[in-house]
Structure 1
Amino acid sequence: MTKPLTKPLTKRVNDVRWAAVRMLLGTVGRLSDGIRIGYRHGFDSGSMLDYVYVNKARGRLGVGRIIDRVYLNAVGWRAIRARRELLKEVLREEIAQRGGAGREGAGHGGAGREASRRGASGEVFVLDVASGPGRYLQDLVEEYEPGTVRVECRDLDRAGLAQGEGLALERGLKGIAYAHGDALDPRPADRAPDVVVVSGLYELLLDDAVIAASVERLRSMLAPGGVLVFTTQTRHPQLEFIAQVLPNREGALWVMKCRPVELAEEWAAKAGFTEVASRREAVGLFTVTTARG
């Protein structure tokens, strides 16, 4: 007689447990600046990601900084910081292949390859279609001489774009611009980009067909010899906690979907890319895939 009651009882216990966690995080947790940003803008927002990138614990009453440090040390955020470093490494390689030399070193491509693979302006053009504030892209631009790299950051989050614009102005960066735009319905840029980046977006989409269509559409935007760089979340040990506790930018609970990297590579191949390769960041939750051809 007790068996039919087991599942409903377990569900009620779990519901109470998650409600308690939500209440605790929404009250005491708000002493942490990071958690407060998550409740204001969404834990999946560009503003939240930018805060995680800075990785400096802040909070109220002393205990807030302790909570914030625990929060910033969560495995997912550590993996996202590792993903950022891998993305920067991949983008440096792509820029070098197009003849772009950093401030302290020569590019790895020869003059002939530079002439054939860079745009008429002489700049390597990088378009990030879901950038948020784009802090890591600002760091990248700062590594190169003016006129070597141009970055356009797009996002639907106007607050994140404004934050990025303000930061770029403070840093005196000229090679990066911000524009409102939908990553899944991207308008053409003023010229075809050499590199298109999609970082942290596909992990938030639950419909595989939407992602496959996006990969195909972005391929059509690339300049000849261009490359699509995108990320995939292959696993996450805290999926249930996130889906039960943390609100996304739309105010709903944040549900993520993990996928095998082989599926991501299959989307790229079906879109017509002939050279597809993936690397995993150091923590092991995300991959970065490059697709060209």
Structure 2
Amino acid sequence: MTKTSTARQPQNDPNRTGSLNRARWAVMRALLGTVGRASAGIRIGFRHGFDSGSMLDYVYVNKAGGFPVVGHVIDRVYLNAVGWRAIRARRELLKDVLRKEIARRGSSGGRDGADGGVRVLDVASGPGRYLQELLAEYGPGALHVECRDMDRAGLAQGERQAAERGLTGISYAYGDALDPTPSTHAPDIIVVSGLYELLLDDAVIATSVARLRGMLAPGGVLVFTTQTRHPQLEFIANVLPNREGVLWEMKCRPVELAEQWAGQAGFTEVASRRETVGLFTVTTASR
């Protein structure tokens, strides 16, 4: 007697797995877009983009908000996500790095005359809360900060915050970080924080690093961040919209590659430090 074999469905059917994943992400997007909006942070993300300066400013404050009880609970879980904890740790490391770079240039900034003081340019600042915090640590004229961004809402928010704090020595202007206009006074320090993580083309970043070197004052330093890993990349790329309203894709890179770009651009004394959560590095590169 001949046995008849029955065809079996492969255990790892890619079509079935893909369908399940798409369904799972669709459910999560639906939940986040409905119940999740009870959280103030998630509402900001849907309004301005989860990668926007306004979103990062809210993450920096780290105070749960939203509808009473339920919204606050959701918001606290949201703000405690590993990526946002790393963002806050990155901010503290960035401020520490900038303090050291400012100190290297002396309390007067190493400049003479009316233009004295260290000049800092952040080419993709958003509201620039961390720069306001840094500026408040120094006396009048010791530090001049220029904040640029293409997010006009974030710039307006930063201007309001600076005015409320009575800060002088900080200005806000619309500007494209990848096609920057030279400053009237060449900056001593240029900062690129949280931008290169959003760019998927390595060549674009390498070109930006080289271009920013040409904008620095002699002896100036470029300070930029790199995301080396992130355990929630798949979730973010399938659930969270960015400032352009499309799903937010990020790219992780080894810090050695970032340092290589700086070296190829002609920078010297290239060094990196990692924040305490372990997702980001801050690199300094001297002209």
TM-score normalised by structure 1 residue count: 0.93
Whether the aligned pair in 2 keeps the contact of 1:88 and 1:136 (CA below 8 Å) is yes
Quote the Cα distance in structure 2 between the aligned partners of 1:259 and 1:278.
13
The aligned runs of 1:119-268 (5 Å cut-off) are 121-268=115-262
Quote the Cα distance in structure 2 between the aligned partners of 1:276 and 1:182.
25
SS in 2 for 1:3: coil
SS in 1 for 2:17: helix
Matched, 1:100 2:107: yes
Alpha-carbon displacement from aligned partner over 1:124-173 (angstroms, at most 9, x marks no partner): 00000000000000000000000000000000000000000000000000
Identity %: 75
Shift of 1:175: 1.1
| Pairing partner for 1:276 from 270, 274, 279 | 270
| Pairing partner for 2:36 from 8, 29, 33 | 29
Shift of 1:3: 2.9
Q: Do the aligned partners of residues 27 and 150 (structure 1) sit closer, same or farther apart at CA in structure 2, a change above 3 Å counting? A: same
Shift of 1:71: 0.2
Query: 1:109 maps to what in 2?
Result: none
| Pairing partner for 1:80 from 76, 80, 87 | 87
Unaligned stretches of 5+ residues in structure 2: 1-6
SS in 2 for 1:77: helix
Shift of 1:208: 0.1
The aligned runs of 1:39-50 (5 Å cut-off) are 39-50=46-57
Quote the Cα distance in structure 1 between the aligned partners of 2:107 and 2:75.
39
Q: Do the aligned partners of residues 15 and 153 (structure 1) sit closer, same or farther apart at CA in structure 2, a change above 3 Å counting? A: same
Shift of 1:222: 0.2
Alpha-carbon displacement from aligned partner over 1:212-235 (angstroms, at most 9, x marks no partner): 000000000000000000000000
Quote the Cα distance in structure 1 between the aligned partners of 2:31 and 2:113.
53
Shift of 1:59: 1.0
| Pairing partner for 2:10 from 3, 18, 26 | 3
| Pairing partner for 1:286 from 280, 283, 287 | 280
Aligned residues: 280
Q: Do the aligned partners of residues 5 and 140 (structure 1) sit closer, same or farther apart at CA in structure 2, a change above 3 Å counting? A: closer
Corresponding letter in the other structure for 1:257: K
Shift of 1:282: 0.4
Unaligned stretches of 5+ residues in structure 1: 102-113
Quote the Cα distance in structure 2 between the aligned partners of 1:183 and 1:161.
14
Shift of 1:121: 1.1
Query: 1:111 maps to what in 2?
Result: none
Query: 1:107 maps to what in 2?
Result: none
Quote the Cα distance in structure 2 between the aligned partners of 1:120 and 1:9.
69
Shift of 1:120: 6.1
Corresponding letter in the other structure for 2:254: P
Quote the Cα distance in structure 1 between the aligned partners of 2:46 and 2:82.
19
Q: Which runs of 4+ in 1 moved over 4 A?
A: 117-120
Shift of 1:61: 3.3
TM-score normalised by structure 2 residue count: 0.95
Corresponding letter in the other structure for 1:136: Y
